[in-house]
Amino acid sequence: MEAPFRGVIGRTIRDSTPWWPEAVRAPASAPNVVVILLDDVGFADLGPYGSEIPTPHIDRLAAGGLRYVDFHVTSMCSPTRACLLTGRNAHAVGMGIIAEWSTGFPGYRGQISRRAATLAEILRDHAYNTLAVGKWHLTPLPEATAAGPYDAWPTGRGFERWYGFHGAMTDQWHPELFADQSAIDPPPRPDYHLSEDLAHRAIACVRDQQSVAPEKPFFLYLAFGACHWAHQVPAAYIARHRGRYDVGWDRIREARLARQKTLGIVPLDTALAPRNPGVEAWDRLTADERRVCARLQEVYAAFLEHTDAQIGRVLDFLRSIGRLDDTLVMLLSDNGASPEGGPLGSVNARRHLGYEQDTLADLLDALDRLGSEHALNHYPTGWAQASNTPLKWYKKDTHGGGIRSPLVVHWPARIRDGGSLRRQYHHVTDIAPTVLEILGIEAPTVYQGVAQLPVQGVSLAYTFDASGAPTRKVTQHYELLGDRALWHRGWKAVARHDKGADFEHDRWELYHTDADFSECEDLAAKHPERLRELVDRWWAEAGAHDVLPLDDREYERVAASVAARTRTTYVYYPDMARVDRLSAPNITDRSWSIAAEVEVPPAGAEGVLLAAGNRFAGYVLYVKDGRLVYEYVYREGLSHTAVSDRPVPTGRSTLGFAFQTTGARRGRGTVLIDGHPAGTIEIPKTWPLHATSSGVHCGRDGSVPVSEAYRSPFPFTGAIARVVVELSNDAIPDPAGEARSALAEE
């Protein structure tokens, strides 16, 4: 609200008194704030937490700061990010699950409630410059288009600048990026990698801000895509790890636990949790299976080491401009390590999760492509459990493997006990109140006219100077996809839920986590009264924080709303902004057509008319060598192509394609010139919409081409008036297939 003028206005300047509203200033001695968020990185993956993976820059950060060993997050990315930025529990602010799986219930809105101002909004209003770089994943993906609305984008939730990506994952070599509110292509250079780009942008944002307003503090939220799959990294980094993991995950877990005990990360009597169901003993794998599994872990380790190098670049820059000492840096992971690669891992995790699992033969064939732009690989579950050493279960689970996270806090101007450990129990909801307490800022009770939820986190600032202080946290609840847990004063009740099972029949376990770090000794039978008390408390917390109703559905949660958003006609124009894949025409198991209204000059033309997806799964209609071509990529290395039997005419014409379903997941395609058939192709197997990894482009392809027959972006050199996609109403329902494909959203 604009302040009323408090000066004097006379007839002339001589009898008038000017007045300016007082400028908002940051709190005295306000530090800069940098939050570095890693993705799917397990508790034991960082060097300061017992890993053999080289992380020298994070090691240095930990050596000058504090390591928290009893710090927790939610077990999936969007909920953790919502907690971190608001200081409230995920369900309470509408983000009880990832943004894509929102429902019509308060705890599952798919975006942060306006009843919870974000840390960026509060700091911006206290004269901070607020900068976001990297993954967001807090916007409903149907809104991640050029039509917005933009109120749930970073720039709508307090960040003045944003460079990064929506959604759960992106190709590290060819990401689908946004700058502020616009879809953009990655910089066109041959050695491009997203993590390097994000570090570069973070440095540039701070450099530019400090160059013009060095008196103003900044809040930098740097959220890497690493180490979420796809695990992609420069080959030189992979080579450094060659042979390191031939010993297998069992030996690596044992070695990590031994280092954790030596470092004091875990008590000396900590037990190594048994292998999770589905994880085979390394020695029982065949030679080929061990070879593949070891290589996939080499790539993951390289990916994390490479990410550490980019973190080092940012920290080195802050040091070079004299800002590191007065900057509060907090580094953590958003959840435990991911089991989504399956028992042997995958070459293309989206396909593996969505519609066709990778075989050992696929993995062996791809061995030398892993980590490159020609693979979307993910490691096996055995390595995921190694990442979570010494804990059980994974991401999406509320046991320790899903929710215990490393947390490194570095602030030389305040923290004098560098290199030491903190054992107080804390949670990601405690990050925002920590920052606010340090700055002496009260969280607003009303923000922009909206009454605010009380802050539910507990500041951990008291631990900076008091290593032995008892934790001020009393209770913390957890829920994700029906998995439930509650920690209360050193005890934890937890229930792992199987999808489709009766919630009332879930078995609750009980652990005394103060004495049992790895949750290995279930005390439910010994202490039934305590268990009952904790379970009752969980239900009370669930009711108070919008956790209910319990819901174990994944994509099925939103199948109806996706169907409701599907139009039958889509009209695209050349050089339009990229359309996200979840806003693309849903051609799954239905007849459909493309009609491109073009004008070809007398000398001919070539290029892409319409492209969706990329080399891992997609389709493209293009002109090359004077012929109209439609190519359908079922998976990398397997495509089906129809080429017109006559040249494309010059002048105005309509170039098209029509697909007719001939059964579930199959059909016949025909290229059309002015409505007349010009060539057909049988497509024996099709993928569901969610299998694609890229969006829609008109008049050109994206940075990862659909077809290997041309070099992207291969723009059309004629004129395109418009391209019309029409969907029929003969879709064959396949709820099970849609549900499987949705797993690729994680």
Q: Active-site residues: which are they?
A: 77, 137
Structure token digits, residue 714: 């291969």
Q: For 423-492, give the DSSP string.
A: ---EEGGGHHHHHHHHHTPPPPSEETTEEPPPP-----GGGGS-TTPPP---EEEEEETTEEEEEETTEE
Peptide bond into 469 cis (omega under 30): no
Q: For 526-579, give the DSSP string.
A: T-HHHHHHHHHHHHHHHHHTT-PSP---SGGGGHHHHHHH--SEEEE-TTPPPB
Structure token digits, residue 227: 């180490």
- In degrees and rounded to multiples of 5, residue 549 shows phi and psi of -80, 150
How many residues in the chain? 746
Q: Are 77 and 224 in contact (CB under 8 A)?
A: no
- Integer Cα distance of 299 and 318 in angstroms: 29
End-to-end Cα separation, the chain, in angstroms: 41
The single residue listed with the structure tokens 């960026």 is 120
Judged by DSSP in three states, 253 sits in helix
What's the one-letter identity of residue 61?
Answer: L
Judged by DSSP in three states, 632 sits in strand
Judged by DSSP in three states, 81 sits in helix
- Integer Cα distance of 634 and 503 in angstroms: 38
- Integer Cα distance of 379 and 386 in angstroms: 11
Distance of CA 302 to the CA centre of its chain: 19
Q: What is the DSSP letter of 156?
A: G
Q: Are 356 and 285 in contact (CB under 8 A)?
A: no
- Integer Cα distance of 674 and 595 in angstroms: 9
Nearest to 581 by CA among 350, 310, 309: 350
Nearest to 519 by CA among 680, 354, 398, 347: 398
As a whole number of Å, the CA-based R_g of the chain is: 27
Nearest to 398 by CA among 37, 169, 79, 109: 79
